[in-house]
Amino acid sequence: MDADPNALPGGRARAALQYLAEELVEDRDSIEINARTSRNRVSLELSVAPGDMGRVIGRKGRTAQAVRAVVRAAGALDELDIYVDIVD
């Protein structure tokens, strides 16, 4: 049984990032999200397959900006400052 995503660091934000990434990419099995925490700040690192990187970033980074905005809003519900980093 999978752990409750709300119990993990940045729970709602992490769940939102997972959902958005799954909807954007073709290779869902390659999605990896790592969290680092410090006080009320959580850094979420999103890693996807190289072929899906363009889908996640989008033209001129617009998709990435939108993903970051939604994830930050989800983090605000838990009173956390969320930063999303898309890594290769």
Range of the domain at 71: 5-87
pLDDT at 9 over 70: no
CATH number at residue 70: 3.30.300.20
pTM, whole model, 2 decimals? 0.86
Nearest partner of 18 among 39, 4, 32, judged by Cα: 32
Tens digit of each residue's pLDDT (9 = 90 or more) over 46-72? 999 999 999 999 999 999 999 999 999
pLDDT for 78: 85
What are the C-alpha distances in Å from 10 to residues 49, 66, 69? Answer: 23, 18, 14
pLDDT for 8: 58
The residue type of 50 is P
Q: Considering its fold, how many domains does the chain have in total?
A: 1
Specify the pairing of strand 41-47 against strand 81-87: parallel
